[in-house]
Amino acid sequence: MRLLVVEDEADLADALARGLRREGYAVDVASDGAGALERLALTPYDLVCLDLNLPDIDGREVCRRLRTDPRYQPEPGEAAPRVLMLTARDGVGERVAGLDDGADDFLVKPFDFGELAARIRTLLRRDAARSGAVLTVGDLRLDSARFEASRSGRLLDLTAKEFALLRYFMTHPGAVLSQEHLLEHVWDEHADPFTNTVRVTVGTLRRKLATGPDDSPIETVVGVGYRLVDATRPEAGDA
């Protein structure tokens, strides 16, 4: 999943980005509203952590534009990003106004990072195509909270990026995902789109998932991309 952190306090923004990357998310950072809107116009984020008090365009206005301006509307088949608004104001009126502007949830500063991570998982699973902290596809099981993944009970030794890639596949089971799509949602802005990083990472993940020759639940759809199938079903592997 790809997240955008919009926060003008540099130390807090850096701490949030580092913590969320440890959780396996791809994270970009913007320090003001204008920068956030510029990124939102170009990148299909899954969730935005949006500070309410920004130095130029405040968080409420950013949220309003995200929900109403055609420039920020998702492409067909894409979901609009969830918005978790971060604020030092704990008044009910402020929260109601933010929700009316299109925010999905509020978190009052100061907050515990564990609560932030849990709220993000909750918001992401509101999409019908996603599940919660624990995902299951066939004999694959992934626990985001524990940062554990297994196949048929065998724990998998995955890097953070492999874990993030598997989680994305498991939230879109059966969908054919192109390399470009995976690059947009699993990697951050520092990824070079002209490298073979997606192909290499998919390859290493497939080898770690395999229990024997040609036994990986990740299939290649020639000329299109990759898809995760339920390897326990008889038709799996026929593509």
Q: What is the pLDDT of residues 57-74, one digit of tens each?
A: 999 999 999 999 988 887
pLDDT for the residue numbered 61: 93
pLDDT for the residue numbered 132: 54
* 179-207 pLDDT per residue, tens: 988 988 888 877 777 678 899 999 999 99
Distance from C-alpha of 179 to C-alpha of 165, rounded to nearest angstrom: 11
pLDDT for the residue numbered 234: 61
pLDDT for the residue numbered 76: 66
pLDDT for the residue numbered 30: 95
Q: What is the pTM of this model?
A: 0.66
**Can you list the domains of the chain with their CATH numbers?**
2-124 (3.40.50.2300), 134-228 (1.10.10.10)
**What residues contact 236, with CB distance under 8 A and at least 6 apart?**
138, 217, 229, 230
pLDDT for the residue numbered 211: 83
From the first residue on, what is the mean pLDDT of each consecutive set of 10 residues in the chain (239 residues)? Answer: 93 94 89 94 91 91 92 77 87 76 90 92 67 79 86 92 92 90 84 82 93 84 92 60
